[in-house]
Structure 1
Amino acid sequence: MTLEIDIEAARERVSDTQALYREVCALMFFRYGETPTANKLYQLVRKGSMSAPAKALRDFWTEVREKSRIDVGQPELPAEVAAAAGELAATLWRLSSDAANAGLEVFKQDAQRETVAATEHAQRMVAERDAAILAAEHASHDVAELGLENARLQARLVELETARAMLEGQLTQFRQEAASAATALADARRDFAEELGKLRRTHDQSEQRLIAVEKRALMEIDSERTAARQARQELQASIERAAEVQTSHQAERDQLRDALSTAKTQLAASMTRCASIEGELAAKRTALDEQMAASGLLRERLEALSNQMVEGGRPPISNVPHRPRRPLSTGKRGVRRELKFTDMAARRPTSSGR
């Protein structure tokens, strides 16, 4: 398949002029290894004005440069390292492409030089043969020498034909090597395109993971803010409750202080009343002791009188019943119990206030 056939196929596929020129640029550069120019493009396509192939050629080289720049989008690499790696890969690809194109151009130049030399040599041989024939026609009298010269020229022609066949074989071999180089270049470009697609997919996946991580971080920040706001609200509520508790404790302390003052007043009154009661008890105890002494004397007199009556033959006087002696400590014990209960009642609000 030749370039003209591919251009005709492209004409059938693509109707836009700029797209057709870019397609022809791609065919010349990538498939046939030729550097496209504006004049050559116009001669091959013959469509539009002269500015159309120039613009298409600029767009084609811009697209090639953009595709040759590799973006290594690994999340663990710094931006400078990723850019340097991309530039290195692009430089390697460009150098390999230039080296392959240079080798192909050298093969073409060598083949063209050898073909030109063989053609020139063949032309010289043809001129020599013509000169020999002309000389044979002019020198018909020397037929034997002409026959020998003709045989020599025929042998020389055979040699030239053999040399030409060898040159054609070499040219064919060079063309095969050029085709192999073009195939290798196409394989390298295809591998490079596949690797570039993998890198782009990896970059897209990394970008998606980064977006997911960012969303998750935003959700965690919102939850932390909500927790902090709830904590502040709970702290404010705790402060308010503490203030209420402190106010209630102060009111209760004031009440207990007032109750303590009242209890102290009541205790002082109770102590005064207790002192007066103890004085009365002491007076009653003295009077009771006097009455007991008088009762003892009276009992002794009654016993003496009874003895006298027994001795005189009279029946004895029965014992005079007397009231049982009430223990004196009962009233005092009750007063002390009342004083103890009053003292405990006075002390209990004091300890509660503390």
Structure 2
Amino acid sequence: MSTETEILAEVEALKGRFSDTKALYREVCALLFFRFGVTPTANKLYQYVHKGTMSTPAEVLAKFWDDLRTKARVEIDHPDLPPEIKVTAAEAIASIWRQATAAARGELAAIRVELQADQERVRYEQLQAEQTATQALATAERLRGELTSAGEAIKGIRIEREAEARAHAGTAARLQELQAQLEQVRAQQQRTQESFSGDLAKAREAVDAADRRAAAADKRALLEIEQERQARAKADKQVEALRTQNSQREARERQAALEHAEAVARLQSQCDAASADHKAMQQANRTLEQELRGAREQLQTSQQEAAHYRTEAQTVQAVLEKLTVSTRAPSRPTKKRAST
């Protein structure tokens, strides 16, 4: 089963579930974008649903992009970051969404105006052609009636040939004239049909040109989305670099703690040896006790620094998890978001 066939089957199923036209268009938007990876446009939505006017899918599509932009907004909260950097980072992605939505709306409005103008012109030209064809048919019917009357006159003239010889000649001339007029009407009708065919071909070319412009607008929207994805990949690389730096910092903290533990062990050994000869080495014992207190203070300071580093690591990890969830959200939607 092809992708187009699957989309049509899913849309038919949604038609049975949703009676409201706007709700149905909103569900079809979510189906195309999240499940099949197709960027929805007003033209595509109307082709699949065939309900309402062209303004209905355009309005629903604009609301869909606004909701998606709001849900995809990233909020950065870190105690060490200045407020200006927080605002800039949070608004960067939102600005991309606003620009893409505004460009898509402008292109869609221009295409809709051009398409409506082309349709009105084609309808007007078709109406004129139909009126011309109707007039030609009426003329042909009138000429056929005149030709029938002439035939009946000819029959009467044949009965009275000898007495109506001159009338017969006049009637024959009239018959030839009517036949010439009939041929002219037929030729005019043929020209009218050819003109109508030419106008219809021009209208089809205009519709094809509008479809090509719509496809170009879709390509531009996809290019802007790809640029946003590249920006997110760059942010992921920066987050990975911060994670590596955090791991290196933790390794240095563990090494410092190990060195302090070894220093404490050495000092404790010296203290025990000095205690065995307390009377003879009292002054030396005081000196060792002072060194031990200094080492303990240094150890306490190192432990406080390690606790501070661990707090920073937990904060960075929380930011990483929030960024990871935000960057993965558009590619794996939940059931709740798909029903929005």
Q: TM-score, normalised by structure 1?
A: 0.45
Q: Decide which structure has the larger Cα Rg and report it.
A: 1
Q: Does 1 or 2 have the higher relative contact order (CA < 8 Å, sep 6+)? A: 2
Q: TM-score, normalised by structure 2?
A: 0.46
